[in-house]
């Protein structure tokens, strides 16, 4: 809901720009050469309407049942999407399969699904910062030009229209076609008659403030609905004899609906668009056919595309008598279908590959993310994979993998463009961990990430956290060379936090003081595709422990140095509530006076999780094993258990030992539809079964076990995952939990 309100707000702002005029730029009528001379020439005009515009497919289905041929198509916004694909040869069934089968939530995102992201970007989720980022450039905070850049959407359109890669004029499509957009700089109407079909469609549906404008031939273009939502005049100017015009009806707002600035602004836009539309519809005459389907879904509810298609079908079905006058004979209809349906297509052999790079990163470096070479006949799947790898870096505003005809050559062009609101990006977040009985933590964090810094995509990241746990860290991530998977990462760290130490004769912990650490580390690592990472490093910090009154500690200050190795795996689709994939971590640390440490210790930590789903139901299984190789460690107990999903019922980090083993099964079910609740939030109900054991010596590890469990409600919100839970253990511990922040 919040995102929809933003959409309306931006649209309302745009409508106040006084320069909007209706000035059709393209008046070319060469499309008439394809039109018949022995029957009336029929033009199909499809208006905008967002997801409700899927109704156009139902209208076209009735036209085909009635054997009504279409000789010209003009479309705006969603009408340009449906019209463009019908003009390029898709059947109504194929268009329905695309619209109803597409994951529109992913289509409107700027980056691929999480499992396709680079491993580096996946790790951004492992804190409590919100996903939304602001830019910082030239001393000013900057916003993205839209809630989405439209890059992923454009790639989908491009893949559907790939067989027309060698066509520059839309007159050469199966049916002549025009897409209506608006020049956001001048306010003029722009009728697109050629170029890249996918770009023309994308331009026509680039809702200002929601989807970033697209530049075509030097013009910055947005949704044509703000200047000509039902382009009857475009079809008339093309020389058609009869127009079938389809306006997606909208329910007018009442006085009671106009109760906020947003609703009033939205109504202003609606009124202005309707006034323009009325002037266009006034061009219709008695021979023309006018349809106004009114689907029940909202402009952003693509999940109900099938219902909208059915509404469009019923609307056209109601005027079959009018349409019957336009029907043609079986032989003429078969001739039309043979012309309209797209022929079989085979990808051409690539003669040349180009890198069109508008980025700090070098072309040579980006080639390492591509797989298609001259002489290859690529598949669409290979093109998609290359696009996802480049987009998965989450560095670029736009990523294109575009098949073009340049002279006699088939050229595959990789185009990337750095984000215009970067290269520094700001994130903020809130973390709450509350058991409603005094064990509470509250933190606020902010990060600044500058990327790319050089041609190898180096990254400088700084995080600051204030609250119950104070922390500041800055790190420099430097890939080594153009084709190498290796990297170097130095970092500096300061942290101040409460520390829990074990009470005498028990695994249970008590607050024992305040611990500060100041130091740094340097790691050398290798990225393993986008699924894993291996790193080794040296860490040196200086610590100071201020114990609480009555608490005695062996060390209250000194140097803590260690050599470490970490192997990580992450293929989860969603770190907050995984439904598919796995994650694993194996970490080894060795501290000794021989490497500059006042503390001697050696340990291994390991954990792994695997998620599997059946429909809306998910089972997440996890196992963890941690062991102190040196049981006489100066630290005196290394590993914590306790808290939600870590032996629920106990306080967080309420248990401490030298060795521990832990396993859990977490089941949850997604309920409801995110689009139907006020915050567009996925909601989960679930529970856990947990089993853990702790010991001072490795041989005693499985002598005693503790059984625990929980029930919870989870919300995958824009500010992070929210959990309302109740935990219980067989030893009698009980605890409610309120947690905002990543927990799995």
Domains of the chain: 21-110+149-340 (3.40.1090.10), 485-740 (2.40.160.50)
Decide if 154 contacts 400 (C-beta within 8 A): yes
> How far apart are the C-alpha atoms of 722 and 431, rounded to whole Å?
10
Phi-psi region of 637 (alpha: psi -120 to 50; beta: other; left: phi over 0): left
Query: Cα separations (Å) of 229 from 240, 246, 623?
Result: 19, 10, 57
For helices 55-65 and 78-87, the axis angle rounded to 10 degrees is 40
pLDDT, the chain, mean? 88
Does residue 466 carry a pLDDT above 50? yes
Cβ-proximal residues to 83 (8 Å cutoff; 6+ apart), any chain:
44, 46, 56, 73, 74, 75, 177, 179
Residues of the chain by 3-state class (helix, strand, coil), percent to 5: 25, 40, 35
- With the C-alpha atoms ordered 485, 491, 496, 502, is the resulting torsion angle positive or negative? positive
Decide if 690 contacts 647 (C-beta within 8 A): yes
Q: What pLDDT was estimated at residue 30?
A: 44
Least confident residue range of 133-142, 208-217, 228-237, 251-260: 251-260
358-363 average pLDDT score: 92
Q: What pLDDT was estimated at residue 255?
A: 67
Q: What pLDDT was estimated at residue 373?
A: 96
Least confident residue range of 26-35, 407-416, 438-447, 493-502: 26-35
> How far apart are the C-alpha atoms of 729 and 723, rounded to whole Å?
19
Which of 675, 687, 680 lies closest to 723 in space, CA to CA?
A: 687
Cβ-proximal residues to 339 (8 Å cutoff; 6+ apart), any chain:
174
Separation of CA 573 from chain center: 11
> How far apart are the C-alpha atoms of 366 and 322, rounded to whole Å?
57
Sequence-ordered strand ranges (E) for 421-553:
424-434, 440-450, 459-467, 470-479, 486-502, 509-528, 532-547
Torsion of CA 219, 222, 228, 232, to 10 degrees: 80
Q: β-strands 706-717, 720-729: how paired?
A: antiparallel
- With the C-alpha atoms ordered 257, 222, 20, 227, is the resulting torsion angle positive or negative? negative
Spatial strand order in the sheet of 409-418: 352-358, 409-418, 396-406
In the block, tokens 């625990």 appear at 708
Ordered alpha helix ranges (H), 229-304: 232-237, 261-281
Residue 697, number of CB atoms within 10 A of its CB: 12
Does residue 494 carry a pLDDT above 80? yes
- With the C-alpha atoms ordered 26, 31, 32, 38, is the resulting torsion angle positive or negative? negative
pLDDT in tens, 634-643: 665 678 899 9
Which residues face 66 on adjacent strands? none
> How far apart are the C-alpha atoms of 698 and 702, rounded to whole Å?
9
Tokens of 55: 């109704």
Which residues face 541 on adjacent strands? 519, 560
Tokens of 585: 């971590």
Q: β-strands 72-76, 42-46: how paired?
A: parallel
Question: Is residue 25 very low, low, confident or very high in pLDDT (cuts 50, 70, 90)?
Answer: very low
Identify the three-state secondary structure at position 136.
strand
Q: What pLDDT was estimated at residue 203?
A: 93
Decide if 175 contacts 48 (C-beta within 8 A): no
Which of 641, 664, 666, 665 lies closest to 652 in space, CA to CA?
A: 641
Own/partner pairs, 718-724, CB within 8 angstroms, 24+ separation: 718/2, 718/130, 718/131, 718/132, 718/679, 718/681, 719/130, 719/429, 719/430, 720/128, 720/129, 720/130, 720/429, 720/430, 720/431, 720/576, 721/576, 721/577, 723/644
In angstroms, what is the C-alpha Rg of the chain? 30
pLDDT in tens, 664-714: 999 999 997 665 554 568 899 999 999 999 988 888 888 889 999 999 999
Q: What pLDDT was estimated at residue 79?
A: 96
Least confident residue range of 88-97, 136-145, 168-177, 719-728: 136-145
Judged on CB neighbours under 10 Å (0-12, 13-18, 19+), 286 is exposed
Which of 487, 633, 463, 510 lies closest to 560 in space, CA to CA?
A: 633
Question: Is residue 24 very low, low, confident or very high in pLDDT (cuts 50, 70, 90)?
Answer: very low
Q: What pLDDT was estimated at residue 626?
A: 95
Question: Is residue 449 very low, low, confident or very high in pLDDT (cuts 50, 70, 90)?
Answer: very high
CA angle 129, 135, 141 (to 5 degrees): 110
Question: Is residue 13 very low, low, confident or very high in pLDDT (cuts 50, 70, 90)?
Answer: very low
Q: What pLDDT was estimated at residue 676?
A: 53
Q: What pLDDT was estimated at residue 440?
A: 84
């Amino acid at each position: 809901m919040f995102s929809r309100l933003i959409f309306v707000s931006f649209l309302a702002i745009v409508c106040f720009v006084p320069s909007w005029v209706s000035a059709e730029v393209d008046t070319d009528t060469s499309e008439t050469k394809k039109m018949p001379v022995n029957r009336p020439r029929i033009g199909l005009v499809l208006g905008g309407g967002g997801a409700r515009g899927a109704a156009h497919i139902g209208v076209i289905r009735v036209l085909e049942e009635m054997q009504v041929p279409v000789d010209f198509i003009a479309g705006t916004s969603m009408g340009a999407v449906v019209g463009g694909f019908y003009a390029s040869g898709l059947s109504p069934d194929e268009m329905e399969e695309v619209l109803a089968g597409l994951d529109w939530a992913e289509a409107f995102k700027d980056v691929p699904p999480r499992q396709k992201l680079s491993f580096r970007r996946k790790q951004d989720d492992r804190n409590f910062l919100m996903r939304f980022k602001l830019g910082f450039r030239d001393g000013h905070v900057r916003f993205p030009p839209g809630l989405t850049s439209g890059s992923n959407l454009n790639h989908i359109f491009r893949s559907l229209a790939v067989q027309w890669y060698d066509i520059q004029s839309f007159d050469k499509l199966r049916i002549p076609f025009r897409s209506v957009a608006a020049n956001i700089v001048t306010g003029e109407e722009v009728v697109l008659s050629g170029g890249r079909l996918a770009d023309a469609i994308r331009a026509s549906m680039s809702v200002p403030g929601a989807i970033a404008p697209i530049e075509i031939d030097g013009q910055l273009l947005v949704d044509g609905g703000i200047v000509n939502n039902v382009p009857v005049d475009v079809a008339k100017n093309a020389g058609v004899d009869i127009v079938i015009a389809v306006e997606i009806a909208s329910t007018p707002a009442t006085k009671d609906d106009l109760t906020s600035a947003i609703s009033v602004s939205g109504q202003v836009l609606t009124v202005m668009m309707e006034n323009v539309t009325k002037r266009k519809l006034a061009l219709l005459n008695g021979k023309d056919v006018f349809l106004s389907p009114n689907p029940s879904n909202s402009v952003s509810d693509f999940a109900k595309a099938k219902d909208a298609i059915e509404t469009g079908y019923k609307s056209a079905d109601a005027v079959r008598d009018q349409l019957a006058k336009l029907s043609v004979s079986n032989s003429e209809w078969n001739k039309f279908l043979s012309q309209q349906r797209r022929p079989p297509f085979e990808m051409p052999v690539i003669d040349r590959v180009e890198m069109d790079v508008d980025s700090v990163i070098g072309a040579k470096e980006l080639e390492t993310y591509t797989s298609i070479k001259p002489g290859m006949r690529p598949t669409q799947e290979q093109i998609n994979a290359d696009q996802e790898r480049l987009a998965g870096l989450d560095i670029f505003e736009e990523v294109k993998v575009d098949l073009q005809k340049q002279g006699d050559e088939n050229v595959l062009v990789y185009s990337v463009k750095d984000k215009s609101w970067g290269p520094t990006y700001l994130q903020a977040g809130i973390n709450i961990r509350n058991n409603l009985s005094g064990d509470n933590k509250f933190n606020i964090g902010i990060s600044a990430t500058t990327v790319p810094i050089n041609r190898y995509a180096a990254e400088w990241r700084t995080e600051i956290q204030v609250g119950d746990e104070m922390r500041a860290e800055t790190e420099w991530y430097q890939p080594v060379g153009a084709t190498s998977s290796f990297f170097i990462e130095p970092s500096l760290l300061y942290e101040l936090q409460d520390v829990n130490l074990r009470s005498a004769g028990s695994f249970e912990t008590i607050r024992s003081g305040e611990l500060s650490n100041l130091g740094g580390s340097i790691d050398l690592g290798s990225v393993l595709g986008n699924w894993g990472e291996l790193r080794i490093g040296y860490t040196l910090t200086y610590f100071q422990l201020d114990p609480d009154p009555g608490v005695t500690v062996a060390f209250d200050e000194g140097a803590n140095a260690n050599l470490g190795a970490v192997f990580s795996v992450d293929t989860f689709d969603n770190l907050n509530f995984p439904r598919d994939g796995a994650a694993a971590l194996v970490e080894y640390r060795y501290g000794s006076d021989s490497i500059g440490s006042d503390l001697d210790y050696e340990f291994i930590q390991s954990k792994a999780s695997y998620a599997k789903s059946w429909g809306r139901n998910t089972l997440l299984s996890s196992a963890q094993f941690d062991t102190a190789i040196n049981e006489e460690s100066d630290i005196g107990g290394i590993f914590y258990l306790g808290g939600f999903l870590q032996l629920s019922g106990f306080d967080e980090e309420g248990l401490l030992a030298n060795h521990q083993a832990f396993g859990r099964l977490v089941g949850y079910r997604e309920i409801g539809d995110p689009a139907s609740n006020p915050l567009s939030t996925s909601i989960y109900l679930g529970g856990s079964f947990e089993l853990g054991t702790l010991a001072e010596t490795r041989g005693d590890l499985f002598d005693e076990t503790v059984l625990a469990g929980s029930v919870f409600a989870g919300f995958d919100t824009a500010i992070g995952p929210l959990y309302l839970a109740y935990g219980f253990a067989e030893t009698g511990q009980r605890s409610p939990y309120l947690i905002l922040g990543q927990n799995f």
